[in-house]
Structure 1
Amino acid sequence: MIFVKGSNFLNKREIFIIGAKGIPAKYGGFESFVDQLTARNQDEDLHYNVACRRDLSDNKSDYFEYNGATCFNVDVPNVGPARAILYDIKSFDQAIAEIKKRHINKPIVYVLACRIGPFINHLKRKLKPYNGLLFINPDGHEWLRAKWSLPVRKYWKYSEKLMVKYSDLLICDSQSIEDYINRDYQMYNPRTTYISYGSDLVKADISESDYKVRKWYETHYVRKNEYYLIVGRFVPENNYETMIKEFMMSGTEKDLVIITNVEKNSFYEKLLEETHFSEDKRIKFVGTVYDKELLKYIRENAFAYIHGHEVGGTNPSLLEALGSTKINLLLDVGFNKEVGENSALYWSKQSGALAKLIEQADALSADEIEQLDQASTQRIADAYSWSFIVGEYEKEFLEVN
């Protein structure tokens, strides 16, 4: 194995992270989490090892260092939907090979998401000779996602059950998920803890005068502070149909800007048929925005953010919105309410509820808007800053026997 000259890994607690596509982060929540966790590592007694998919990695070497972590590339063939499962299994096996080669005692293998339940007991046995521990992040209710067929959803639920059964610790990024794990799997007496996902309170490093800002607003005929914003994956469980229908029912003169990976698929066609959104000039699907600074600027200059996510744990888009958008209208489910608390406004899927809330938001005074803005910003600072979250992880990794 190739290490950076001068690196010393003796007597460190070795953490192997499996399940993210890799770092540097380019793809999603888990990747951003691992990027932050490694970048902010302040404890010299911890060393991270991160599995990366070679086909998605900028560095194609077998091993490379990033953020002080040792990253190891994993080759995984394209076997269709099962590719993510195979990736986790191969990553686990490569981690075991490194543990064996380096004679590591008491390593922690931290698996993100519950994809490999049917294989986890076999894999965990390989850790036993090294006094290793298996930590798992159960993520959200993947088995409820509408994008999966019924057999796949059954696999997810069964896989989750086995991951819970054989874990040494489940780190839940949502209190609602932790409650669910302890309630539904009490027969296994699972050991759980709650450590949320994180977010930063950093203003966009661009301004109205930047060309890319002017171009985006002009291209989509959008004006600052004159639009409601939705950001999220284009999937049914994020309640696009309800949000669009309710917005169209409302009397607001502002636009609805939807940033998503929209595809002209059956879900899109059904949405168009059910809502006729193309007939409302306020509804604007603007595609994706991968420029992080531009997206941050768009959030900061929205009038309000609408969040309809119903499945999953603490959602990164919600944290970013609370930290940057003045008014936040959230679907009233446990995942969202535990994050927003009294710093947001809430709506149900009952007909007319969101439409009414949009009109109420339009009528808020400048002082009321400022109070909501300050409360949501403070909520992120108090409970979700990356420095706090990483500190909680470091304590958990170092204090476990």
Structure 2
Amino acid sequence: MHAATRDARPVVRILGTHGVPAAYGGFETAAENVALHLRDHGWRPVVYCQADGRGPIVEDVWNGIDRVTIPVARDGWLGTSLFDLRSIRHATRFRDPCLTFGYNTAVFNIAQRALGIPNVINMDGIEWSRARWGVIRQAILYVNERIACWVGDELIADHPVIEDYLARKARRSKLHTITYGANTVLDAPTAPVAELGLEPGRYLTIVCRPIPENSILELVTAFSRRPRGVQLAVLGTYGDDDPFHRAVREAASPEVVFPGSVYEPERLAAIRYHGLAYLHGHTVGGTNPSLVEAMAAGNPVIAHDNPYNRWVAGDGALYFDSVDSAAEQIDALLESESLRGRLSATVRERHAAEFTWEHVAGQYETLIASVSARRPELVSEPDVGATA
């Protein structure tokens, strides 16, 4: 007979993302890096993963992280909501603390509250306020934000401005600012750059969702006012069916290129690293992952002038609030190598101080440990396995 062993590591169940390995966006990347940090610091992270189709729940291990994969046959918001519901049903069979990314389905998190299961919720900015959702979805998100402020034992804001906003709806003592992280990029291959027809050190980048609130039209218009001698690579999918996408393309000079979407983290890191500068037009949203990743690659930044971006990039960016000021900042940046060098050094210092995954995930661990310590009776059901 083989001896049965019990995994004595403390458990945290991570909900609210598509799962690991990260392949979708900021929340998935955060969940993966937090889980890896917890794994390396004596925890047993269990990440809930969404799969397409039908079938039974599958439990396995990826890279030392336990996964619970739940198939869902629906697409879009309904599919995500159903996945969240099934994840919470599974997680509440145990009495482990939970880390939930997002409040979109916080009504389901009432289950953890009712059962006395600690739940730390990352509140994901002021998502309900985005006009692209439409009135009905905005209302649903607003209600769920209020519910999350009530049911969450601790609430994470990714930016001090978001924490101040949440303080109007939840007591300040359970609010914590923990930012988004990015891995430092000190070298990268040039092949991903060449594949896009770009020349290292001879292009600027815009990397964001192609929507009006990200100031893409303003930045493309500003860049296109006169010949620059370098290119502007606007990453993302800009189709002919969307009026805004057409407007951006029509405003572009011949030096603006649209190479399409790039999702692979390694390729994106290389494209950023070899870029001359990064243009960041986001007007809302707390700490933006794209800005942090540009800083991690040492990119000089031109950013929209708002409290979100100023806190993140600090003195490592030039700021604009109109097409005219954006054009002026592009002129200044391209004309001065010493300015670019100073901005690059400053964003690297800012990233190292606040936005490394070691620092960010360490704050998550401290918060989860604090919540767990308040409920010493919470013990996960033992996992029994065969050992040689």
TM-score, normalization by structure 1: 0.85
Pick one of 220, 228, 231 that aligns with 1:255: 231
Residue 111 (structure 1) aligns with: 100
Amino acid at match of 2:272: R
Pair 1:216 & 2:196 matched: yes
Q: Write out aligned runs for 1:1-400 (5 A).
A: 8-10=6-8, 12-41=9-38, 42-44=40-42, 46-55=43-52, 62-78=58-74, 80-97=76-93, 99=94, 104=95, 107-125=96-114, 127-128=115-116, 132-183=117-168, 185-186=169-170, 191-206=174-189, 208=190, 210=191, 212-217=192-197, 222-249=198-225, 252-266=228-242, 269-273=243-247, 276-277=250-251, 280-348=253-321, 350-364=322-336, 366-400=337-371
Shift of 1:333: 1.6
Change (3 A) 1:257 1:173: same
3-state secondary structure, aligned to 2:167: helix
Tell me, yes or no, if the aligned pair for 1:146 and 1:236 is still in contact at 8 Å: no
Tell me, yes or no, if the aligned pair for 1:38 and 1:67 is still in contact at 8 Å: no
Shift of 1:201: 1.0
% identity of equivalent residues? 26
Tell me, yes or no, if the aligned pair for 1:23 and 1:31 is still in contact at 8 Å: yes
Tell me, yes or no, if the aligned pair for 2:210 and 2:245 is still in contact at 8 Å: no
Amino acid at match of 2:160: Q
Q: d(CA) in 2 for partners of 1:292 and 1:333?
A: 27
Q: Which runs of 5+ in 2 are unaligned?
A: 375-388
Amino acid at match of 1:155: I
Shift of 1:230: 0.2
| Aligned CA-pair RMSD | 2.5
Deviations 1:348-386 (A, max 9, x none): 1x341111111111222x332222111111111111111
Amino acid at match of 2:194: R
Amino acid at match of 1:353: S
TM-score, normalization by structure 2: 0.87
Higher relative contact order (CA 8 A, sep 6+): 2
Q: d(CA) in 1 for partners of 2:109 and 2:25?
A: 24
3-state secondary structure, aligned to 2:104: coil
Change (3 A) 1:264 1:275: closer
Change (3 A) 1:292 1:305: same
Tell me, yes or no, if the aligned pair for 1:250 and 1:355 is still in contact at 8 Å: no
Comparing 87-96 and 68-77, the one that deviates more: 68-77
3-state secondary structure, aligned to 1:200: coil
Deviations 1:286-344 (A, max 9, x none): 10123433322221221110001123221111111112143100111222111101111
